[in-house]
Structure 1
Amino acid sequence: MATKRWVPGTQCVAKNDHTKPKAAELAYRKGDILTIVEIGTGKGVYKAKHNKTGEEGLISASNVREREAIRIDPSLSLMPWFHGKISGPEAVNKLRPMEDGLFLVRESIRHPGDYVLCVSFAGEVIHYRVIYRDNKLTIDNAQFFYNLIDMIEFYTKNKGAIATTLQKPKQKEGTKSAEAELSKAGWLLDIEKLTLGESIGEGEFGAVYEGEYMGQKVAVKNIKCDVTAQAFLEETTVMTKLQHRNLVRLLGVILHNGLHIVTEFMAKGNLVNFLRTRGRSVITTNQLLRFALDVCEGMEYLESQKLVHRDLAARNVLVSSDNVAKVSDFGLAKVDSKTADNAKLPIKWTAPEALKKEKFSTRSDVWSYGVLLWETFSYGRQPYPKMSLKEVKEKVEQGYRMEAPEECPPSVYTLMRACWEADPGKRPSFRKLRDKLKRELPTCDTATGS
């Protein structure tokens, strides 16, 4: 069977140890993640970078396998041991044949809102009531936890107030352990190797920190609430499938204190702040066009993967140290398109049909891209200045469109207007937009900064 040639950027997992490399070869251990840097001269030989040590050297394709994307599977669970509302006797039945440390968690029927940890020990099942107090969970009023994931992690390592450490989860029928799947595919990172720095942002679902993982600078989103973490799991599996120079790259996840999503670090922050803090005197029109093209290429790739972003805006575009713009939070694009949650929709960026009938599509992303172009060429101004959200909604519906930003090239304003066609079918695709933007950048070498 002919092996597929890997392109630079492909991530691979080592199948065995290679601890005594010859000259120019890379040393690694089984399970290490290596990134292909370039195709080597020999057959099946590649130059690769070790994701942990940062060292580069030659590897043989036969010693590694490609890091797989994780299949989106609704049965994948961060809490496979959670059985929902079942009674005590049902829990006892599920924990047979009994072995010390076999456990499950259920919702308490007698005390709604509380949980019960059921543990098999010395031939019987002990039921520990888990009380919800001040937004935290506790069994003994001494140890407190943010969520069930934390609690189980603690009692797996410490006996604490219970009869035995938790040894073996009793999985709920029809669920698969997300931890096992992530680990098998090479996406589970080690908490011990992560150093967290200061908070660099507060997302809707948790804080984002700067950090270091194996000597590499990273950004870490921490989601503590277990229900939200479970919802994010699906989005994270989407991210394992996507690799593009203009999308922020997922490096892996850590299961500890909820869910940590670890991505590449983007030194220059988000595009809005980048533009606002530098302004016209520093950033040329050519650089603005480059950013616009970067975002367009990232979105064209998402379009090719049939994914809808739903929240494309300059605040969700990050800038790398070498000025490459990358779309972020694309993995957090809602998978179901029935969000009746209009309150949370970014009204100034959302297409009229998405606001009105919740019809999200690549073409509604194109509308948002038009607004992002306006933000970019106005150097980070708030769109629809001085208008309330209610006014924006009504006026746009009646056909109002924003004027061109000051000194914006007329051809770019024409693109914005095309993105804001009332009929989604008349809006250009990202592919068309990319071709037009490339024509705007004739003097620029479009491969710079890669």
Structure 2
Amino acid sequence: MAKMSWAAGTQCVAKADHRKPKPEELSYHKGDVLTIVDHGTKKGYYKARHNSTGGEGLINSSNVREREALRVDPGLSFMPWFHGKISGPEAVCKLQPAEDGLFLVRESIRHPGDYVLCVSVSGDVIHYRVRYRDNKLAIDNTQYFYNLIDMIEFYSKNKGSIATILLKPKQKHGTKSAELELSKTGWLLDITKLKLGKNIGEGEFGAVHEGHYMGQRVAVKTIKCDVTAQAFLQETTVMTKLQHKNLVRLLGVILHKGLHIVTELMTKGNLVNFLRTRGRSVVHSVQLLRFALDVCEGMEYLESKKLIHRDLAARNVLVSDDSVAKVSDFGLTKVDSKESDNAKLPVKWTAPEALKKEKFSTKSDVWSYGVLLWEIFSYGRQPYPKMSLKEVKEKVEGGYRMQAPDDCPPGVYSLMRMCWEPEPRRRPAFHKLREKLEREMGKLSPGCREGIGTGSRC
């Protein structure tokens, strides 16, 4: 039976051709990706936009399926042709039987830090040294590349100074092409349809730009380092599984001179800056509670999927044009919570057991949520004001907890204290927090009760 409640923004894939549309209907081919824009007037119909042509029209929901998520697969790679540290003779063996344009990339053993592009031509294998200088790669001194993905993309289309165009990657055993998987599942977007605009942020891993994709305003996170791009495959894979009104929506990825992650554009920026730049005179208690509820609902959804965020903070919550708060940056999201890099942990937001024993769980996310509540009701102040990280660690372990921000409703402060229970199992689950916040909202603004859960903004 067709699912009848797709929200605007849901991505669908056509199950068959629809070449002779009636007036107002959309034409498409099997495999085309379509984005739901609105409910249609007829039952079972939706208004949709074609992701490639930009055309809009009605579609019958029984002719499409929701775009599937990517499977988490450790073998998935943006660089399946990269074989790591192998010798020249080993590379020659791997490129048998000889085939023109068959290639792989390896780390140079003779010149550490450099790479070697090995290409089969006329029954022979040619080894091209790829020098790494000033954060750029080059085979000759005319063409420079940001990374290996960029280089392989170029030589797959242009011969340049090598003997043949790269035609066929020799995949490392156990790897699968992420590009192919993204393409098959409908998550690979077309670079020619993207128009990049101004820089709206500088992340740890690269710039974030606003832009337009097929007439839709988008945010584009650009990752130029190929090792980082590979690490972000985890984030991308997780994001393909998640559809919720309070999580920033992934639209797809583009592979061009590196990796571009394309998401919906959140025009009002991150929550901490939003609150700091507006303050008490503009943002009132009911709106603060609404933000708290938005984040809580997004986290309740992650909790239901058994996913841990690990870096929940107001800086990682974005605000949409219509002032809806959405959780973003799933870069640290892991199904398995054992891996971690303690040096990078945001101490002021991280639960004591996660700092001490690297025990991450939904309950450690609840602790972080308590700190985020404090940030919201203090209008974006830095938590634990005037305390060093060392002091925070020691004092919190000794039982210290922050005071309530000025004018914070007592009910909300008591929620913060519940989130900061030393014993993780005594902290409330996100669904319990949501119920309590809804009661708070009812106290502050009785007319809001009906609005809760229906999407209306009080």
TM class by shorter chain equals over 0.9
Residues 3 and 61, structure 2, Cα contact 8 Å, conserved in 1:
no
**1:214 aligned partner:** 214
Task: Tell me what 1:63 maps to.
Answer: 63
Question: 1:381 corresponds to which letter in structure 2?
Answer: R
* Letter aligned with residue 6 of structure 2: V
State the distance in 1 between where 2:279 and 2:43 align. 50
Match of 1:378 in 2: 378
Q: Please give the alpha-carbon distance, in whole angstroms, between the structure 1 residues aligned to 2:340 and 2:301.
A: 27
Decide whether the 8 Å contact of 1:95 with 1:120 is kept in 2. yes
C-alpha displacement of 1:84: 1.5
Q: Map 1:342-381 onto structure 2 (within 5 A).
A: 342-381=342-381
CA distance in 2, matches of 1:350, 1:284: 28
- In the alignment, which residue of structure 2 is the partner of 1:223? 223
Partner of 1:160: 160
**Residue type of the alignment partner of 1:420:** W
Per mean C-alpha deviation after superposition, the further-off stretch among 366-375 and 111-120 is 111-120
Cα deviation code 1:313-361 (max 9, x no counterpart) = 0010000000100000125424553455322111111111111111111
Counterpart of 1:422? 422
Note closer, same or farther for the CA distance 1:413–1:81 as it changes in structure 2 (3 Å cut): same
Offset of residue 198 of structure 1: 1.6
Any gaps of 5 or more consecutive residues in structure 2?
Answer: none
Aligned residue in 2 for 1:89: 89
* CA positional deviation for 1:209: 1.0
Mapping for residues 251-290 of structure 1, pairs under 5 Å: 251-290=251-290
Check the 8 A contact 1:235/1:335 in 2, yes or no: no
For the 8 Å contact 1:114–1:131, the answer to whether it is kept is yes
CA contact 1:247–1:327 (8 Å) conserved in 2: yes
Cα gap change, 1:436/1:56 in structure 2, threshold over 3 Å: closer, same or farther? Answer: farther
- Structure 1, unaligned runs of 5 or more: none
Q: Quick one: which amino acid aligns to residue 382 of structure 1?
A: Q
Distance 1:59 1:284 in 2: 42
The residue number in structure 2 matching 1:175 is 175
In 2: Cα distance, 1:186 partner to 1:376 partner: 37
SS at match of 1:13: strand
Secondary structure at the counterpart of residue 105 of structure 1: strand
Q: 1: distance between equivalents of 2:324 and 2:51?
A: 21
Query: Aligned partners of 1:215 and 1:332: how far apart in 2?
Result: 31
Partner SS state of residue 374, structure 1? helix
1:199: how far off?
1.3
Q: In the alignment, which residue of structure 2 is the partner of 1:8?
A: 7
- Is the Cα contact below 8 Å between 2:288 and 2:377 reproduced in 1? yes
Percent sequence identity is: 79
In structure 2, the residue matched to 1:236 is 236
TM-score by length of 1: 0.95
CA RMSD of aligned residues (A): 1.9
Instruction: Indicate conservation of the 8 Å contact 1:17/1:30, yes or no.
Output: yes
- Residue type of the partner of 1:92? V
Q: Does the residue aligned with 2:326 lie in a helix, a strand or coil?
A: strand
Verify the 8 A CA contact 2:157 2:165 in the aligned structure 1: yes
Specify the alignment match of 1:195 in structure 2.
Answer: 195
User: Which amino acid is the alignment partner of residue 241 of structure 1?
Assistant: K
Q: CA 1:198/1:111 → structure 2, altered by over 3 Å: closer, same or farther?
A: same
Report SS of the residue matched to 2:156.
helix
Contact 1:239 1:331 in 2 (8 A): no
Deviations for 1:231-290, whole angstroms, at most 9, x for unmatched residues? 110221010000000000000001112111100000100001111111111111000000
C-alpha separation in 2, matches of 1:209 and 1:149: 21
Distance in 2 (alpha carbons) for counterparts of 1:311 and 1:409: 26
What amino acid is aligned across from residue 7 of structure 1 in structure 2? W
Whether contact under 8 Å (2:243, 2:249) holds in the other structure is yes
SS at match of 1:227: helix
